[in-house]
Amino acid sequence: MTIESILGQLDQLEKLHRSLLRIANEKTVLIKQNDISGLDQLLKDEQAHLAAILQTDKARETAVVAFFTEQGRPVPLQPTITDVLNIIQEPEHTQLKEAKDRLLHAIHELKWQNDLNQKLTYQSLQFVNLSLDMVRPRTESVNYSKNEVQGNPTTKKLASFDSQA
């Protein structure tokens, strides 16, 4: 395998992550609009993208293993692009590093957008809970008071001796 096949896998991963970022941006809009059915559809699309990303990443790993095998080098336990960068020369080194950096940038943007969506969803949930608490009737406490637990009666004892008799 040549570096071009690894580059192709990285480009495909970047495209998939950019597409996933587009979905995350759409989710932000739908969360703000409280469109549950639209969110449901986007979640299904997101699952399909995640499956494609996993498949492409396995293909990338296979390409890296094949590259190490063709070079006659020992294959690392979990081969990474950094392992390949450590053994290749220019101009492939620069191309591979740029592809890796583009992919990492897309992943960081996606992570930031997903964090925003998580915060928006949490705030929505807090608002729903607050609204429910305002509408829901409050039940009286069924616990005993301190005096009842300790056995102190709340009424005064009357004296049994009447001095005026």
Hey, where are the domains in the chain? Answer: 3-136
pLDDT above 60 for 46: yes
User: To the nearest whole percent, how much of the chain has pLDDT over 70?
Assistant: 82
How much is the pLDDT for 36? 87
When pLDDT is cut at 50, 70 and 90, the band that residue 165 belongs to is low
CB-side exposure of 111: number of CA atoms within 13 Å?
6
Q: pTM of the entire structure?
A: 0.74
Give Cα separations from 12 to 5, 19, 86 (angstroms).
11, 11, 22
Contact predicate 136/117, CB 8 Å? no
How much is the pLDDT for 163? 59
pLDDT above 80 for 17: yes
How much is the pLDDT for 124? 84
pLDDT above 70 for 42: yes
Determine the average pLDDT of the residues in 58-70.
91
CB-side exposure of 23: number of CA atoms within 13 Å?
20
Per CATH, the number for 3-136 is 1.20.58.300
